[in-house]
Structure 1
Amino acid sequence: MHVLVVGASKGIGLEAVSVALRAGHRVRAFARSADAIALTHANLEKRRGNALDPADVEGALDGIDAVIETLGVPVRDLMAPVTLFSEATRVLVPAMERQGVKRLIAVTGFGAGDSRVAINWLQMAPFRLFLGRAYDDKGVQERIIKESGLDWTIVRPGVLVPGPPSGRCKALTEPSQWRNGLVSRADVADFVVKQVTSTQYLRKAPVLVSR
């Protein structure tokens, strides 16, 4: 598959680039700082661009089979209004529909959309204080995706931690199962890349935890 990773320069996006290359996919790594990606591979293309720029996004989608969307904002911006997730998705989704690129795997987080109801009362106050603005926008992002005609999977990791893949990653699909927990970025990347060629979680939004 020819995979576009949006937000590929760091975090889960960068991990997903590595995992996808190891899985034999061709990867177009799209980010404003794509030139700074240290990876080199015959099947890797680094594409500089802005996820909010329709022309950049249209160009990045040329010849693509599936898209992995892994956006993030700096910690320093979390106390201000956050609109990146919804605005970028409002650019990406119609561009994919115009170009006939159907498969979208988008990483949001536990607490986005309807998974917010599973946050316990002890966690809710700090969640709203530090992450509320970002997750309100991720909720809008999820709604845009769910209302599209794409073949989407939304991935909601718990608390992200460093480290190698654990092999214990659980995908919790039922609201009664949803809970917070730790999960490594490597585990999330491994799960996300597997969805490129799987329909197991098609039009589902699992919560990911490993412990």
Structure 2
Amino acid sequence: MKVVIFGASKGIGLETVRRALEAGYQVRAFARSASAIPDTHPNLEKVDGDALDPEAVRAAIGPGDVVIQALGVSLTPQNVISPVTLFSNATRVLVDAMKEVGATRLICVTGFGAGDSAGRGGFFYQAFGRQGLLKRAYDDKDIQEWIIRRSGLDWTIVRPGILTDGPHTGRYQVLNDPREWRVGKISRANVADFLVKQVESDAHICDTPVLIE
């Protein structure tokens, strides 16, 4: 089985590349700077490309591949002040490409506060995160989730809490019930652990789990 990871050059994407290789999968790492990924492995293929380029995205996916989308944007003044469109536009391109080539399994990282988890993080998270510096990004993540929910694919939307650079421990909470949703910290490595565990699992298809440690 091949796992295609978009946004693979850093953050959660890079950690997912590493966890997927450890799990024995063939991995295609797609990013604008994929060739700069320091890891080498016989099962790793690095593809430089733009997630907004339909031809490049379509060429990176094959029938039956499992796709993990882990895109991110930097917290720059531009992304704080101006509308962010990367998440929604790239997801439209990806969903169309998957349908064209016959790939049906999509695992996507958004974040706690997106979609119907908005407003559940408490005053400070709302004021300084979801409705503060991250507002533009989360407005676009809302659209991204809407696109995925209506895609007809076997999707899982993963909403991690506040991300850290902590180690991979495999110890974290998966909150499925909206009554349990709350903000908390989680390492990017542990998010990656959960993503890879979904590759051959149907436990969270059409589900939106929140992850915290």
Is the structural similarity TM-score above 0.5? yes
Whether the 8 Å CA contact 2:119–2:126 is kept in 1: the answer is no
* Candidates 168, 173, 194, aligned match of 2:171: 168
In structure 2, give the amino acid aligned to 1:23.
Answer: A
CA RMSD after TM alignment: 1.0
Give the aligned partner of residue 201 of structure 1.
Answer: 204
SS of the counterpart of 1:118?
coil
Task: Write the distance in 1 (CA, Å) between the matches of 2:210 and 2:173.
Answer: 8
Give the aligned partner of residue 43 of structure 2.
Answer: 43
- How many residue pairs get aligned? The number is 210
Give the aligned partner of residue 60 of structure 2.
Answer: 60
Shift in Å at residue 129 of structure 1?
Answer: 1.6
Shift in Å at residue 168 of structure 1?
Answer: 2.1
Residue pairs, 1:61-76, within 5 angstroms: 61-63=61-63, 65-76=65-76
Q: TM-score, normalised by structure 1?
A: 0.97
Shift in Å at residue 78 of structure 1?
Answer: 2.7
Give the aligned partner of residue 108 of structure 2.
Answer: 106
Give the aligned partner of residue 87 of structure 1.
Answer: 89
Deviation by residue 1:140-198 (Cα, 9 ceiling, x = unmatched): 00010000110000000000001212332111011100000000001000000110110
Whether the 8 Å CA contact 1:97–1:149 is kept in 2: the answer is no
1:155 aligned to 2:143?
Answer: no
SS of the counterpart of 2:42?
coil
Give the aligned partner of residue 126 of structure 2.
Answer: 124
% same residue = 57
Higher mean C-alpha displacement, 110-119 vs 82-91: 110-119
SS of the counterpart of 2:41?
coil
Shift in Å at residue 63 of structure 1?
Answer: 4.9
Task: Write the distance in 2 (CA, Å) between the matches of 1:62 and 1:177.
Answer: 37
Whether the 8 Å CA contact 1:153–1:204 is kept in 2: the answer is yes
Give the aligned partner of residue 6 of structure 1.
Answer: 6
Whether the 8 Å CA contact 2:64–2:104 is kept in 1: the answer is no
Shift in Å at residue 125 of structure 1?
Answer: 1.4
Task: Write the distance in 2 (CA, Å) between the matches of 1:45 and 1:112.
Answer: 31
Stretches of structure 1 lacking an aligned partner (at least 5 in a row): none
Higher mean C-alpha displacement, 120-129 vs 47-56: 120-129
Shift in Å at residue 123 of structure 1?
Answer: 2.5
1:15 aligned to 2:18?
Answer: no
In structure 1, give the amino acid aligned to 2:124.
Answer: L
Task: Write the distance in 2 (CA, Å) between the matches of 1:4 and 1:89.
Answer: 14
Task: Write the distance in 1 (CA, Å) between the matches of 2:75 and 2:120.
Answer: 24
